[in-house]
Amino acid sequence: MSEPVLRTQGGVTLIGGGSVTREDLAEALAIAPHLVAADSGADQALAMGYRPEAVIGDFDSLGNDTRGALPGDALHHVAEQDSTDFQKCLSRIRARFVLAVGFDGRRLDHTLAALNVMVRMPAPTTIMLAAEDVVFVCPPTLALDLPDGTRFSLFPMGQAQGTSEGLEWPIAGISFAPSGPGGTSNRVTGPVRLTMEGPMLVMVPRETLRHVLVGLRLW
């Protein structure tokens, strides 16, 4: 277990070096006010007028100007190359939840690696804010109250199966797998109730973020 860099009973916004807008960051910080940057995410944060409390990573892409603009005790260099900067950050944050911005939209390999880490690291609870989606790992039971017609996608990250209520196409009896059936582009028909065994990502529209926070008992 890595030594924590930041502890909080609330939420942390984690910014990466991928695609992120000023609006994305402001939305996340309104909910999770502690800001941590993964490597070059600090460059983006400073460019938008925000100063991260901590920067964590191998610093292979962190700008020299950013290094000079931040106090030394905010910089946490982790030299090992066996984990991504995203994983380095999550393993050093002790928080109720993390909202991750800037981890999609540029390099697909970085996005896939971040999703993989989310599945492998159940704590802290991590929600990725992508350009059009809110993405999180489905817990064993999940209750979400979403507007009828909301797009609701499931993507397996391993062997998975479950049951559902409130979806147009029920999932009971489906053996999900990355190389087999998926569950993308389902639709909400009422209060969603899921049970899930195995690693499954849930993807819903960005505007449902607060519904997700309530459903995950984070809000």
Q: For the residues 50-66, what does the mean pLDDT come to? A: 94
Alpha carbon distance 133, 202 (integer Å): 10
**Amino acid 219: pLDDT:** 87
Confidence at residue 1, expressed as pLDDT on a 0 to 100 scale? 59
Residues 51, 58: Cα–Cα separation, whole Å? 19
Residues 116/85, Cβ–Cβ less than 8 Å: no
**Ordered structural domains, the chain, with CATH:** 6-131 (3.40.50.10240), 137-215 (2.60.120.320)
Q: Residue 12: which pLDDT band, with cuts at 50, 70 and 90?
A: very high
| Residue 108: per-residue pLDDT | 87
Give the pLDDT of residue 195.
98
Structure confidence by residue, pLDDT tens digits, 161-200: 999 999 999 999 999 999 888 899 999 999 999 999 999 9
What is the pLDDT averaged over residues 154-159? 96
**φ, ψ dihedrals at 172, nearest 5°:** -60, 135
What is the per-residue pLDDT across 123-146, written as a single tens digit (0 to 9) for each? 899 999 999 999 999 999 999 999
User: How does strand 141-144 pair with strand 133-137?
Assistant: unpaired
DSSP 207: G
pLDDT surpasses 80 at 106: no
Euclidean distance between CA atoms 118 and 199, whole angstroms: 10
- Mean pLDDT across the chain: 95
Q: What is the pLDDT of residues 89-104, one digit of tens each?
A: 999 999 999 999 999 8
